[in-house]
Chain A
Amino acid sequence: MTAPRALRDPLTWVVLLLLALLWALPRGQAFFAFLFPWLERPIYAQESFLSLAGAHLALVGASSAVACLIGVTAGIVVTRPIGAEFRAMVTAIVTIGQTFPPVAVLAVAVPVMGFGALPALIALLLYGLLPILENTVAGLGAVPEAVRDAARGIGMSDAAMLRRVELPLAAPVIIAGVRTSVIINVGTAAIASTVGVRSLGLPIIIGLNAANVAYVLQGAVLIGLVAVALDLAFERLLQRVQRWQRL
């Protein structure tokens, strides 16, 4: 007898492991005291890991949602005849956004906008935009000319062709871009804690300042697991939109 599908799925196990760690870490005093006997406080206890993980996901979710909206929309516009002349310019701007290190964006944004979530959101947005835009443009560009010709020839309007044919065919490539963007942002969101935003980066920043290796380890492991879980979730989504190709 085979195990139920959920049990054979690595995603289930990673999510369970993440939840287990969120529960167990605050209770692991003895374990971390054993690993790091020289530390006076071997467990980050200023805030619960659960609420930090929630804040981390909210930050990534909000910035990625806006990046998707802007990136996919811009990708659609510059691949239409109307927006074709803006293509080089838009790509250049977004590429520049990507080359700015997020720390530098924070350093510039904080004096202007003050501490808080907004500068962090902007830094993550700029950083996550490029893969989404590039993949949207590439995915739409890869729709075979014959398919476009047929769609137009049988009487689809431009809007219908985009919605029924071009976007579904480009979806795997676009989703791959979103996946890259989200995974990058899960890591980058940790840096946002340098400007006082709550995220799983907080234990790492505080740990680095206070030479507390245990804090750094706890933050890093949780961030890593969040990234792996999201990556597996995107893998699942990709398989779903590509199902027809495997028949």
Chain B
Amino acid sequence: MIEFEGVTRRYGDTAVVEDVSLRIEKGEFFVVIGSSGAGKSTLLRMINGLISCSTGRIRVDGHDIAALKPEALRRRIGYVIQSIGLFPHWTIARNIGAVPELLGWSPQKIRTRATELLGLLKLDPAVYLDKYPHQLSIGQQQRVGIARALAADPGRLLMDEPFAALDPITREALQAEIAGIHRDSRKTIVFVTHDMNEALTLASRIAVMDRGRVIQVGTPAELLIKPANDFVGAFVGRDDAGLMLLATEKVTARMRPGGVDGGPSINADANLRQALSRMLLTRAERLGVVDGSGRRLGAIHIGDLVRR
């Protein structure tokens, strides 16, 4: 659990973060979104003490972080940044083992852990363990960046626009990766982005920031249906809000059982927005829903998309 209590950060006379009070529950995927300069990165970097509070208090698991040794705090919180920041003179294995090394793990145990994490992030350990960061693509480097953050199995991850510099295909792959890691590990993730689609795909709750203040906190659906003000409305893309709302639900949630006919079909992993898109493309008012191996699970009708 991470709590902000009246937190303000000032540089001179300008407040970059102003009077923020928030409670991020254990196991949440909490996304902070806002335009650049809104203070979202500052907010994130205050959680692991890289930036201190001017006033207010931040508690991690009930402990005021001002009273903790910053290095010890940071070793228990994974940290992933847009610019990745792998240590260029260290092998991938040593990069991943950076925190365990600081914690004094044995070399054997560190190597085993690095191997395991490379596998989790779909990089072949036999190929990549002893390579150097500059030998990897940016997408692969960020996979290693995530592995490094997970190495000592911290309960929380801070991610500062981790996928903003990646091409769309790599970005989607890594979004799926981190969603899977969150689903399997139930780690608390605080994730900063300026991409609303990314926020809607990943978040269990979203905080919208503007000029240092948190304007609204809510689930993706709450933000889309009831934006607190015009700023949030504009940010969630008022005109497309309905479509984005569809994107937050899987087809399986509204699927009806049965249906035997052929015709166009869609994978059960797809969301309702993808289903609508497929209907428009195939000029079909209903789609079969199939699993990965093509087995028919049910059907979805165009009316099901509108139903509440």
Contact = CB atoms under 8 A, between A and B. Distances in A.
Interface of A: 144-157, 160, 164-165, 168-169, 244-245, 247
Q: Is the interface of A mostly helix, strand, loop or mixed?
A: helix
Contacts of B132: 244, 247
B89 A169 contact: yes
Nearest to B71: A155
B48 interface: yes
**Considering the complex of A and B, which 7 residue pairs feature the smallest CB-CB distances, nearest first?**
A150-B85, A146-B83, A155-B74, A155-B75, A153-B79, A146-B85, A155-B71
B84 A146 contact: yes
B50 A153 contact: yes
B227 to A, nearest CB: 33
A164 B84 CA distance: 18
A168 B87 CA distance: 10
Contacts of B149: 154
Given A153-B79, A154-B75, A147 B99 contact: no
A244 B94 CA distance: 13
Contact of B99 (A148, A155, A157, A168): A155
Contacts of B70: 155
Given A152-B50, A169-B88, A247-B131, A157 B71 contact: yes
A244 B85 contact: no
Nearest to A242: B89
Given A155-B99, A247-B135, A150 B74 contact: no
A153 B83 contact: no
A150 B84 contact: yes
Interface in B134-150: 134-135, 145, 148-149
A157 B158 CA distance: 19
Nearest to A148: B85
A160 B102 contact: yes
A197 B246 CA distance: 87
A191 B81 CA distance: 54
Counting chain A CB atoms within 10 Å of each CB, which of B45, B87, B131 scores highest?
B87
Interface in B59-85: 70-75, 79, 81, 83-85
B86 interface: yes
A245 B131 CA distance: 11
27 contacts: A144-B83, A146-B84, A146-B85, A147-B88, A148-B85, A149-B83, A149-B85, A150-B79, A150-B85, A151-B85, A152-B50, A152-B74, A153-B74, A153-B158, A154-B79, A154-B99, A155-B71, A155-B73, A155-B75, A168-B89, A169-B88, A169-B89, A244-B88, A245-B88, A245-B134, A247-B132, A247-B135
